[in-house]
Chains A and B, each alone.
Chain A
């Protein structure tokens, strides 16, 4: 049996070499996962599914438990309660098998900086147990995917921030994993570099890799995720395709009202009295589900716009956008 990887190639999937015939509809599955640190419940009864071949975005504010969830999946944190599995390998007992079939792109750059691009990839072909005869091809392919062919012999310290990020992704793909974890893949990057990375992740997604991506960037989740799981205080508050989440929580239209604080308070009060959900956005107030609002509640000076995932995020997590 061959890997289900890109293009149905003949690459022997390491996970399958370990356990022939393993297949699963859910690439990642969590039920009631709990992880506490002292009195803090970082992950607090989390249910999460990543259907095979889809990209799930774990969207939440800082401190929502996203990074801990990623750590649970690499078994660098052990859950106190709950059932966790990746490609039907149960964690933490079978974590090593899961890790063989998975690539992880960390939030913090942990490349070997004194090595070249090629050497970084070569080390990981060994760590991921790519057979000796396939190593060169695996490295060449990873270089191609990350568009780093010309920089193969450059030391990591000579690379730009964007290239280093792309190398981190390439390193996680060197063994053609079925599942990829991306922990805040574009945090702290320039908009242009972010676009580059999005293109790379989008390509992975269209090739059928199962992806779990944690992010606190709304746009990132909206652009890349088939399903968004909104996370707050260690739990999944809601999940679904971005459009459905928007329709469900924020309706079709929102009206943005700008004005002095007193005016905003007045608009807010009137809207709430009429049962129209609102949210503050710094200098304005947004009235949501404007299409259902009773006559006279929507002020004439309001600016109509489409409801967005951002509205959902704020409503569900109670957090403002940074």
Chain B
């Protein structure tokens, strides 16, 4: 006799644990998820905005406000997952506790990345709200932003979880941060359009999930381009799916010997 993979009862148990825990730390999590992108937004918005009037047909605050969604999602999901899952696995041994109940590693990881991804998707909307205070006009397309953020968020949370499960110590995360996340973050088209960069980097950007998130958010806000946007969406879904499987596999290797 076998039980189903990914049982809802198991996923919901893990999600309930996260939501009950969230009550004790939502202030600090919300604070950092809000303040960091807001600082970027204001620094670049006022700094560059004074020099540049228009970028790609948009006012600079519109350009950077929509672009910052991807950054906010990245910060919240990837860092939250890297450090959070490491601490829960190695220091607090929360995952041992959960795996002694009828929850399998695949269910544990899936529920964790869903939780962090959805949370990141919601935090990702903060820059849009801030940008609205500074002149970004609301549009119906913006209602899609949380969902885009959630897909990207699940991807980054899975990425962070996979890294965490591949690392032997928490110090290793600085390599990932410097060598992977920072370059991706700077070449995603958040703060300046990529056509300003060498052609090679512009092409490479197609392999940067942040770039697809930036483009998709801008397009749904200002002007949907169905063909291109389906590709962007497809890229994000593919990124999330691949990272999810990696996260499950790497975590299983750590937790089940």
Contact = CB atoms under 8 A, between A and B. Distances in A.
Nearest to B24: A114
A129 to B, nearest CB: 5
B21 A99 contact: no
Contact of A77 (B17, B93, B257): B257
B182 interface: no
Nearest to B255: A76
Interface residues of A, number: 35
B204 interface: no
Nearest to B4: A96
A140 interface: no
B17 A97 contact: no
B188 to A, nearest CB: 34
B17 A126 contact: yes
Nearest to B97: A110
Contact of B257 (A37, A102, A111): A37
B9 A74 contact: no
Contacts of B93: 106, 108, 110
Contact of B13 (A19, A102, A126): A126
A129 B256 contact: no
Contacts of B1: 19, 89, 94, 97
A289 B96 CA distance: 45
A98 B20 CA distance: 26
Interface in B1-51: 1-3, 9-10, 12-14, 16-17, 20-21, 24-25
Given A76-B255, A78-B257, A129-B9, A110 B102 contact: no
A74 B17 contact: no
B97 A74 contact: no
B98 interface: yes
A112 B94 contact: yes
Interface in A49-77: 71, 74-77
* Interface range for B: 20 to 34
B81 interface: no
A119 B101 CA distance: 16
A76 B257 contact: yes
Contact of B96 (A18, A106, A128): A106
B19 to A, nearest CB: 10
Contact of B92 (A19, A76, A102, A110): A110
Interface in A110-124: 110-115, 119, 122-124
B59 interface: no
A127 B103 contact: yes
A127 B102 CA distance: 7
A106 B17 contact: no
Nearest to B107: A96
A112 B99 CA distance: 14
Given A115-B20, A115-B21, A127-B13, A99 B92 contact: no
Given A94-B2, A99-B102, A126-B13, 4 more contacts: A96-B103, A106-B97, A112-B94, A129-B102
19 contacts: A71-B257, A74-B100, A75-B256, A76-B256, A77-B256, A78-B256, A97-B1, A99-B100, A100-B102, A108-B93, A111-B97, A123-B13, A126-B16, A127-B10, A127-B14, A127-B98, A128-B102, A129-B9, A129-B102
Interface of B: 1-3, 9-10, 12-14, 16-17, 20-21, 24-25, 92-94, 96-104, 255-257
